[in-house]
Amino acid sequence: MLANYHTHTYRCHHAFGSEREYIDNAVARGLELLGFSDHSPYIFSGDYYSNYRMHPDETAGYFDTLRKLKLEYADKIDLKIGFEAEYYPAHFNDTIDFLRRFKPDYLILGQHFLKNEYDGVYSGSPTDDESILRLYVDQTLKGLETGLFSCFAHPDLINYTGDISIYNEHIGRLCRRARELGVALEINLLGLAEQRAYPRRDFWRIAAENGCDVILGCDAHEPEAVANPDVLAKAYQYAQKLGVKLIDRLELRPIV
Rounded (5°) CA angle 231-182-232: 5
Burial class (CB in 10 A: 0-12, 13-18, 19+), 29: middle
Residue 253 per-residue DSSP state: -
Q: How many CA atoms lie within 13 A of 238 on its CB side?
A: 24
Name the phi and psi angles at 119, rounded to 5: -115, 15
Q: Average pLDDT of 158-179?
A: 98
Contact status, residue 215 vs residue 154, Cβ threshold 8 Å: no
Amino acid at 215: I
**4 and 218 Cβ atoms separated by less than 8 Å:** yes
* pLDDT interval class at 130 (50, 70, 90): very high
How large a percentage of the chain has pLDDT more than 90? 99
Tell me what the mean pLDDT of segment 225-229 comes to.
98
Phi/psi for 176 (5° steps) reads: -65, -45
Which segments within the chain are labelled E, that is strand? 3-4, 33-39, 78-85, 106-109, 151-152, 184-188, 213-217, 245-246
pLDDT of residue 61: 98
Residue type, 10: Y
In angstroms, the CA 123 to CA 111 distance is: 7
Per-residue pLDDT, 200? 98
Q: How far is CA 158 from the centre of its chain?
A: 14
- The model's confidence at residue 256, banded by pLDDT at 50, 70 and 90, is confident
User: Among residues 53, 130, 145, 135, which one has the least CA distance to residue 99?
Assistant: 53
pLDDT, one tens digit per residue, over 13-46 is 999 999 999 999 999 999 999 999 999 999 999 9
Q: Is the pLDDT of residue 12 over 90?
A: yes
Residues 51-95 have pLDDT tens digits of 999 999 999 999 999 999 999 999 999 999 999 999 999 999 999
Is the model's pLDDT at 209 over the cut of 90? yes
Peptide bond just before 104 cis, omega within 30 deg:
no
